[in-house]
Amino acid sequence: MSQQTELPELDSVGVLRYAWRQLTSMRTALILLLMLGVAAIPGSLIPQRTQNPIQVSQYFKDSPALAKWMDRFSLFDVYGSPWFSAIYILLFISLIGCVLPRTIEHFHAARALPPATPKNLSRMEHHSTWAANGTELDVARAWFKTHRFRILEKDGSISAEKGFTRETGNLFFHLALILVLLGISFSSLFGMRGEAIINVGERFVNTPTSYDTLTYGKLYKDSNLPSFMLTADKFVAQYNIETSSPEDYTLNVSLLRDDFSVVEKKVIKVNSPLTIGSTRIYLQANGYSPVVTVRDSKGDVAFQGPVPFLPQDSNLRSIGAIKVPDADPQIGFVGSFVPTYVRDPNGGGAQSAFPKALDPRLLLSAWLGDLGLDSGIPQSVYRIDTSAMQQIGLKTLKPGETFTYEGGSITFEGYIQWVNLNFVADPGKKFALLGGIVAILGLLASLFTRRRRIWIRVGSEVEVAGLAKNAAPGLEIEMEQFIRVLKGDK
Amino acid sequence: MSRTWAFASNYLIYSAMFVYTLSFFAHAIETAWAVKVPTDTTKTLDYKRTEKVARIATAMMILGFILLFAGVIARGISSSRVPWGNMYEFSITGALAFTGAYLGALRKYDLRWLGLLVSISVLLTLGTAVAVLYRPSAPLVPALKSTWLVIHVSAAIISGGVFLLANVIAAAYLYLDNMEAKGERTAWAKRLPSLEVLDQLSYRLVAFVFPLWTFAVIAGAIWAESAWGRYWGWDPKETWAFITWVAYAAYLHARVTIGWRGRRAAWLCLFAGSTFLFNYVYVNIWGTGKHTYSGL
């Protein structure tokens, strides 16, 4: 060891050691903890891509310059941003650096005997002294045993200690938090999350192309998708007559698992997802798909089938688009479906009075021209870019009615319901849950146990004293009790 | 039948408000009349003069608690579910939890000086609930139909009640500390216990309820997993629950590990409590996300 290694500012090891000490100090941990809290705030005030992509794009439309700058600081994706990650990663490194050495230390301390009785007990708190009768040491030993103190007896004195659970609980709490984080990371590597809209009566085959959106964890592959087939047999939505708020959604499905031999009948409800292996299927949303038939001028069918429309309000007024790219020229319908038709009293268009289809109407505006599907720009299936089209008519249809326009017709055959299912594989959640449970138990143990020492020395006089760590209350009462037992007057 | 229960619930809550008002006046009289001005013009306190009024005040508080409790139960019966489906119901239950926390702590500590603040804040909460937040009794939306509603929401409401009580005490600490710095004491300040007791008391309450809040958050996560398909999604309510958790965790660390006491600890406690209030008021009313149901 040369002289230089002792000067941290000149030596990289020294600098690292210094940085490590700073990072794992309690003060830094506390500052990082508060920073994590503060850093979480913007994500709750600014719309986030993961929760509210539509509002984010609205932001970009309303004030593009500001939004661009905000995007540079990941303000639309706070919880996945580099700076947010930096804070919690540093916090957890700090936590590990703090907790691991303490765990080792505590492991040794828990097996060691309490330190010997101090020479001068009169300096300690709760000190009291009285004339001895000779049996006190035995009484004290018995009392310590029944109260589960750990004791060290030496030269006519007993040093007793209790309350190690406090630190044990504290350490378990912090280790459990690390387990929660590991669970979350595990899911982000091996998890999967997908969404699909399925018309009632249709079948869903679990392959990547069946999904509307699908995201994999970094180590999840197509081949990890379990093979099954799901048919949406029946969907029932119940609504409150007075408030038209939903009361129950029930989806009946037929499930064919990987060996494709037995059809199982299953029920999916909002609070009870369907579990297939490690994948769970959740009922997330529902709406209406008007069923239409579009014919060309010769009467041949150009398009036929249900088209999912997106609900806009609690009474399920829904909007959507029917695109017929095979017609020549191309034709598109911008549509609005109302399950229970009423005229808007304020003079607007049609409104829905109730979410159940009591008196459904399909409102259509027909457009002729170029749908722009070949331009390569991704388009919403619920909207039509009418910039290169010409409006040729407006019509409100009841089920069974047909709207005839120049060059063809469209028939509103009826409607079916669709359901939006979420498919989630989250293999890390059991670790996170275990971490959560251990954290609570550890917290309870650490907050409700008191660590304290009691000493007794017996010579011609009895001398007792006590010490409560962390200034925990309650030792006074315990000492009084102890002294009463020693003096024999229970 | 359910209408009758809903009406009964409303009447019980109005009665509770009336009784809380009586309690508030009794506490006010107690605080004001305890001051005696002897001949040498220095003001002193004489509680013997007001002991009877103080007892009435506490009795009214207990009666108000019972009426409110009955009102909350009746509300639950009227819709045949736990009464935690909208903000009106959260508010009446929250007021109940707050009074409960106060009365519970009163058994152990002499907290009657706090009665004035407790009765007025309960009255304000109930008043807002009845006047602004009231919604007719109705069944739950499907997402709320779960056993976890009982577990998650009750844990959250009780935690909230105790957090707010700790907050009021921390505020009283700061108030008294300012008074002492100026060398003066108002009548109410004279009723307060020592700074040290206030400091310990707010810490004790937070330490007691922090595990419950942790549980409320975890129970919420378990429920979210079965209702929404993910246990954590940084929904505004979740985010603010997390912020509250982090703030109180920082408060506990600051006290236990670093040894913060007094003013700094009280301010940190107030900050943590305000994140809880913000979550309740802002996120419920103006926020977006999955925790907003049927209006409020």
CB contact A477 to B (< 8 Å): no
Interface contact flag, B250 A34, Cβ < 8 Å: yes
Q: Encoding tokens for residue A26? A: 């309690």
pLDDT of A381 reads 82
The yes-or-no verdict on residue B85 having pLDDT over 90 is no
Report the range of poorest mean pLDDT among A203-207, A212-216, A442-446, B81-85: B81-85
Taking the model in full, what pTM does it have? Answer: 0.84
Q: Which residues pair with A36 in a beta bridge?
A: none
Residue B187 pLDDT grade (very low, low, confident, very high; cuts 50, 70, 90): low
Domain count, chain B: 2
Q: Alpha helix (H) ranges present in A191-310?
A: none
A478-490 pLDDT per residue, tens = 888 888 888 876 5
pLDDT of A10 reads 54
Range of the domain at B80: 1-139
Q: Which residues pair with A281 in a beta bridge?
A: A274, A423
Domain co-membership, B132 together with B187: no
Q: How far apart are CA A424 and CA B22, in angstroms?
A: 55
Find the helix or strand (DSSP H, E) in which A466 lies.
strand A461-468
Interface contact flag, A245 B249, Cβ < 8 Å: no
- How many other C-beta atoms can be found within 10 angstroms of the C-beta atom of residue A272? 15
The yes-or-no verdict on residue A439 having pLDDT over 90 is yes
| Among A26, A273, A439, beta carbon nearest to B257 | A26
A217-260 pLDDT per residue, tens = 889 888 888 889 999 999 999 998 887 888 899 999 999 987 77
The yes-or-no verdict on residue B259 having pLDDT over 70 is yes
DSSP SS3 for A134: coil
CB contact A472 to B (< 8 Å): no
Which of residues B139, B154, B176 is at a domain's end? B139
Interface contact flag, B211 A447, Cβ < 8 Å: yes
Interface test with A, best of B162, B197, B230, B283 (most A CBs within 10 A): B230
Establish how many alpha carbons lie within 13 A of residue A268's alpha carbon, considering only the half-sphere containing its beta carbon: 31
Count interface pairs A-B at CB distance under 8 A: 125
Q: How far apart are CA B156 and CA B93, in angstroms?
A: 11
Which residues in chain B have their CB less than 8 angstroms from residue A245's CB? 138, 141, 294
- Whether residue A361 contacts residue A398, with contact meaning beta carbons closer than 8 Å, is answered with yes
Phi, psi of A267, rounded to the nearest 5 degrees: -120, 135
Domain co-membership, B169 together with B263: yes
| Among B211, B232, B257, beta carbon nearest to A444 | B211
A297-320 pLDDT per residue, tens = 888 899 999 999 999 888 999 999
Which residues in chain A have their CB less than 8 angstroms from residue B240's CB? 44
The yes-or-no verdict on residue B179 having pLDDT over 60 is yes
Percent of chain A with pLDDT over 70: 96
pLDDT of B210 reads 94
pLDDT of A131 reads 87
User: b/e per residue, A49-61, with b = 16+ CB within 10 A?
Assistant: eebbeeebeebee
Distance from CA of B284 to the nearest CA of A (A): 12
Domain co-membership, B131 together with B167: no
Residues 245-304 of A with CB under 8 A from B: 245-249, 269-273, 280, 282, 284
Domain co-membership, B59 together with B156: no
Domain co-membership, B120 together with B208: no
B92-148 pLDDT per residue, tens = 998 999 999 999 888 887 788 888 889 988 998 898 888 888 877 777 778 888 888
pLDDT of A471 reads 65
Interface contact flag, A282 B228, Cβ < 8 Å: yes
Q: Which residue of A lies nearest to B293 if distances are taken between CA atoms?
A: A245
Domain co-membership, B87 together with B169: no
When the pLDDT of each residue in chain B is averaged and rounded to a whole number, the result is 85
Which residues in chain A have their CB less than 8 angstroms from residue B250's CB? 30, 33-34, 37
pLDDT of B36 reads 61
The full set of domains in chain A, from first to last, is 4-108 (no CATH), 123-163+453-487 (3.30.310), 190-286+422-436 (no CATH), 287-417 (no CATH)
Q: How far apart are CA B77 and CA B64, in angstroms?
A: 20
Task: Please state the three-class secondary structure of chain B as a single string.
Answer: CHHHHHHHHHHHHHHHHHHHHHHHHHHHHHHHHCEECCCCCCCEECHHHCHHHHHHHHHHHHHHHHHHHHHHHHHHHHCCCCCCCCHHHHHHHHHHHHHHHHHHHHHHCCCHHHHHHHHHHHHHHHHHHHHHHCCCCCCCCHHHCCHHHHHHHHHHHHHHHHHHHHHHHHHHHHHHHHHHHHCCCCHHHHHCCCHHHHHHHHHHHHHHHHHHHHHHHHHHHHHHHHHHCCCCCCCHHHHHHHHHHHHHHHHHHHHHHHCCCHHHHHHHHHHHHHHHHHHHHHHHHCCCCCCCCCCC
The yes-or-no verdict on residue A45 having pLDDT over 70 is yes
Q: What ipTM was reported for this prediction?
A: 0.84
A260-302 pLDDT per residue, tens = 778 899 999 988 999 998 899 999 999 999 999 999 888 889 9
Q: How far apart are CA B241 and CA B228, in angstroms?
A: 17
Report the range of poorest mean pLDDT among A324-338, A461-475, B225-239: A461-475
Residues A336-364, mean pLDDT to the nearest whole number: 88
- How many other C-beta atoms can be found within 10 angstroms of the C-beta atom of residue A30? 19
Residue A4 pLDDT grade (very low, low, confident, very high; cuts 50, 70, 90): very low
pLDDT of B35 reads 64
Interface test with A, best of B149, B197, B239 (most A CBs within 10 A): B239
Domain co-membership, B64 together with B190: no
pLDDT of B46 reads 63
Domain co-membership, B148 together with B271: yes
Residue B293 pLDDT grade (very low, low, confident, very high; cuts 50, 70, 90): low
Residue B183 pLDDT grade (very low, low, confident, very high; cuts 50, 70, 90): confident
The yes-or-no verdict on residue B73 having pLDDT over 90 is yes
Domain co-membership, B290 together with B150: yes
- Whether residue B139 contacts residue B84, with contact meaning beta carbons closer than 8 Å, is answered with no
Name residue, tokens 């305890």: B34
Residues B249-270, mean pLDDT to the nearest whole number: 89
A320-329 pLDDT per residue, tens = 999 988 877 8
CB contact B236 to A (< 8 Å): yes
Q: How far apart are CA A440 and CA A438, in angstroms?
A: 5
Q: How far apart are CA A213 and CA A198, in angstroms?
A: 13
Intra-chain end-to-end CA distance of chain B, in Å: 25
Q: Using alpha carbons only, give the angle A215, A220, A223 rounded to the nearest 5 degrees.
A: 105
Which of residues B90, B124, B139 is at a domain's end? B139
Can the peptide bond before residue B139 be classed as cis, meaning omega within 30 degrees of 0?
A: no
Distance from CA of B296 to the nearest CA of A (A): 13
Interface contact flag, A433 B283, Cβ < 8 Å: no
| Among B214, B221, B226, beta carbon nearest to A272 | B226
Residues 361-390 of A with CB under 8 A from B: none
pLDDT of B84 reads 83
Q: How far apart are CA A479 and CA A485, in angstroms?
A: 10
Interface contact flag, B234 A50, Cβ < 8 Å: yes
Domain co-membership, B263 together with B162: yes
Residues 247-266 of B with CB under 8 A from A: 247, 249-250, 253-254, 256-258
- Among candidates B86, B89, B95, B90, which has minimal Cα distance to B68? B95
pLDDT of A1 reads 40
| Among A184, A193, A270, beta carbon nearest to B227 | A270
A93-114 pLDDT per residue, tens = 998 888 888 899 988 888 888 8
Which residues in chain B have their CB less than 8 angstroms from residue A428's CB? none
Interface contact flag, B226 A426, Cβ < 8 Å: no
